[in-house]
Structure 1
Amino acid sequence: MADKQISLPAKLINGGIAGLIGVTCVFPIDLAKTRLQNQQNGQRMYTSMSDCLIKTIRSEGYFGMYRGAAVNLTLVTPEKAIKLAANDFFRQALSKDGKKLTLVKEMLAGCGAGMCQVIVTTPMEMLKIQLQDAGRLAAQKKLMASQAGPNSAVAESVTARPTAIQISRQLLRSDGIAGLYKGLGATLLRDVPFSIIYFPLFANLNKLGQKTPDGKSPFFVSFLSGCAAGCTAAVAVNPCDVIKTRLQSLQRGVNEDTYSGIIDCARKIWRSEGPAAFLKGAYCRALVIAPLFGIAQVIYFIGIGEFLLGLLPSRRD
């Protein structure tokens, strides 16, 4: 099985390219997901994903839907690269003599990948959420200012939205590097179960298209398998994603709760908004993750990284 050894640099390139393409395609839906998850009972600005996107375009312009995309595009390459490459590394480490991995070992490999990726995911999500939610908070303040009158204190409080660099500097100055890792526990709570579900499910779905045990599945099978596995895992861990989003939001709207930790956040959401609140943004998240991982797996299995590194020709001999 020596010819099955994984080229780590190639996998890192594949994961990075996949992340860039995927995020560019689905970022507006991710923005809607964040805003829907963050709004609490009371000042609700949006009723659905489409309502959120329409209002965002009207108030912030087309590029308002991509607010926070620069942070995501910068960090998604190492994040996706680590996630995909780590899963392959752990699968290879857990396999013995080329034997098929058991489901438990597939889940352990996914768990390892999820734990590795939070090194990049947590600060990326932390900054992205502040930028994505700034438009919702600004719209809420404008609405209150229009209701209160032009000379009110509320009207004067509508200020310019911060940039990622400003937020980073403020967090580093006040809390050090720990400031960028606010919500680390909640991120682990979301990403580890996600990887445990996603990677084994994808691997088994993708095998359905393999004509031989060592062959590759067709292009469309990898894509559909990535979409199906990503969608399933995303919806399954959505309650954890809601908690993570709330904990990582530094600014709150009027009359919105603040939280001291994961348990406090879950308790307050359940008590004030009901169990259905844990599914906020689930539809958007499924629409984000499904194509994101479908695209990722296609690029991953096409082997763009291997081609760029000139590894494909060497496999012919």
Structure 2
Amino acid sequence: MASNSSNSSAAPKPLPAHWNLFAGAIAGVSEILAMYPLDVVKTRFQLQVGKSSADSYTSIVDCFQKIIKKEGPGVLYRGIAAPIMVEAPKRAIKFSANEQYRTLFKSWGLPESRLTSVLTGVSAGITEAFVVVSFDLVKIRLQDKANAGKYKNTSDAFAKIFQQEGFIGFFRGLEATIWRHGVWNGGYFGCISTIRQLLPKAETKQGTLANNFIAGTIGGTIGTILNTPFDVAKTRIQNQTLPFSSCKYNWTLPAVATIAKEEGFGALYKGFVPKVLRLGPGGGILLVVFEALSGYIRKNIL
């Protein structure tokens, strides 16, 4: 217990905002380049509704094979420009807002605890949702096979969505995005602080990287288990193009209930395997790169 408290008291100070932006952006782009094809597969599964057919995806391998064979390998990176465009502010918000909320809650007299870690994570996730919602919507529209001939590329998708749905169209699914990011960040940051304390104290730089990867991977996995139903609902909501009042899926909790009622509870976890394969190790990659860059900046620049 003594070593845990000493670890906590020796925690490094938060980086200045501009260095948080830099480290968060590099970490985020590293993760997205490595794991993006799994995000495409996840979206395809989440949009798959109705009875099975010859074109249905039955597994991750089957989905990869059908996409590559019928649409070409480039489709596995279709829509990647949108998340890369928002990656810098998104990742900066994920880490810097988490630190700022922790400082705020500490000033309110809340002690450092697992509950505070969850609360700061949820708050950072809600903040993050407002930044990413429009880019997520464009990404999902481009990832859907049914839209292959509708949007030529990312800029064309932005232009057509604005033309056909107006500026407000870019915020379709905002409430669902708040649910998804708030729940994931709460689970992620709530877990990594606890897991770091449970792991043996690292004596080397390699040990620290290993601990960060383990904590980030477990945190990413827990966050994914918690938020996948909201992610499925968000994907369905954002892929609709009808006026809001005419859509089948509107608000998150009713959408979750409709999916469970019509397709069974398991449908709320469509795309879970590719999602957890991405966000589990992806959370580890994210944390390792961010912590490594943060340490380098503190040691060599600040």
Q: TM-score range by the shorter chain?
A: 0.7 to 0.9
Is residue 299 of structure 2 the alignment partner of residue 312 of structure 1? yes
- Say whether residues 1:101 and 2:112 are aligned partners: yes
Identity %: 28
Confirm or deny that 1:205 pairs with 2:195.
Answer: yes
In the other structure, the counterpart of 2:138 is 127
From 240, 258, 274, the equivalent of 1:250 is: 240
Could you tell me how far 1:205 is from its partner in structure 2?
A: 0.8
SS of the residue corresponding to residue 218 of structure 1 reads: helix
CA–CA distance in 1 between the matches of 2:220 and 2:240? 28
Q: Which residue of 72, 95, 102 corresponds with 1:91?
A: 102
Give how far 1:57 is off: 0.5
Are the aligned partners of 1:210 and 1:216 in contact in 2 as well (CA < 8 Å)?
no
Task: Supply the AA of the counterpart residue of 1:118.
Answer: A
Deviation readout 1:129-152 (Å, 9 max, x if unpaired): 00111x2565xxxxxxxxxxxxxx
**1:211 and 1:185, CA in 2 relative to 1: closer, same or farther beyond 3 A?**
same
Query: Which one has the largest radius of gyration?
Result: 1
TM-score when scaled to structure 2?
0.85
Aligned to 1:113: 124
Question: What is the Cα deviation at residue 77 of structure 1?
Answer: 2.1
- 1:211 deviates by 3.7
Partner Cα separation in structure 2 for residue 5 and residue 201 of structure 1 = 19
SS at match of 2:166: helix
> Which residue in the other structure is 1:81 paired with?
92
Contact 1:34–1:129 (8 Å) recurs in 2: yes
Answer yes or no: is 1:192 the counterpart of 2:182.
yes
Alignment of 1:61 with 2:72, yes or no, is: yes
Offset at 1:250? 2.9
The amino acid that maps onto 1:69 is I
**What's 1:148 paired with?**
none
Give the distance between the partners of 1:49 and 1:94, measured in 2 at CA.
42
Contact kept, 8 Å, 1:35 with 1:136, in 2: the verdict is no
Write the letter of the residue equivalent to 2:132.
T
The C-alpha deviation readout for 1:90-148, integer Å capped at 9, x for no partner, is 12333369996022222221121101101222112101000111x2565xxxxxxxxxx
Change (3 A) 1:192 1:217: farther
Structure 2: runs of 5 or more not aligned: 1-8
- Give ranges in structure 1 of 5+ residues lacking alignment: 139-158
* Rounded Cα–Cα distance in structure 2 between residues aligned with 1:267 and 1:127: 25
* Structure 1 residue identity aligned to 2:49: Q
- State the SS of the aligned residue for 2:93: helix
Task: State the one-letter code of the partner of 1:248.
Answer: Q
In the aligned structure 1, how far is the partner of 2:240 from the partner of 2:211?
41
Moved more, 104-113 or 12-21: 104-113
Task: Specify the code of the residue in structure 2 equivalent to 1:86.
Answer: A
The answer (yes or no) to whether the contact 2:141–2:147 under 8 Å persists in 1 is no
After TM superposition, list the pairs within 5 Å mapping 1:206-221 onto structure 2. 206-209=196-199, 211=201, 218-221=208-211
Query: How do 1:1-317 and structure 2 match up within 5 A?
Result: 4-42=13-51, 44=53, 45-95=56-106, 101-133=112-144, 135=145, 159=149, 161-209=151-199, 211=201, 218-250=208-240, 258-302=248-292, 304=293, 307=296, 311-313=298-300
Give the count of matched residue pairs: 285
Residues 1:217 and 1:105: Cα distance change in structure 2 (over 3 Å): farther
Per the TM alignment, residue 165 of structure 1 is displaced from its structure 2 partner at its CA by 1.8
Q: In 2, Cα distance between the equivalents of 1:19 and 1:122?
A: 16
Give the whole-Å Cα distance in 1 for the aligned partners of 2:176 and 2:108: 37
1:261-305 CA-partner distances (Å, limit 9, x unpaired):
334423331232111100111111101101221111111211x25
Q: Deviations over 1:155-204 (max 9, x none)?
A: xxxx4544222222233234433211100011111111111111021111
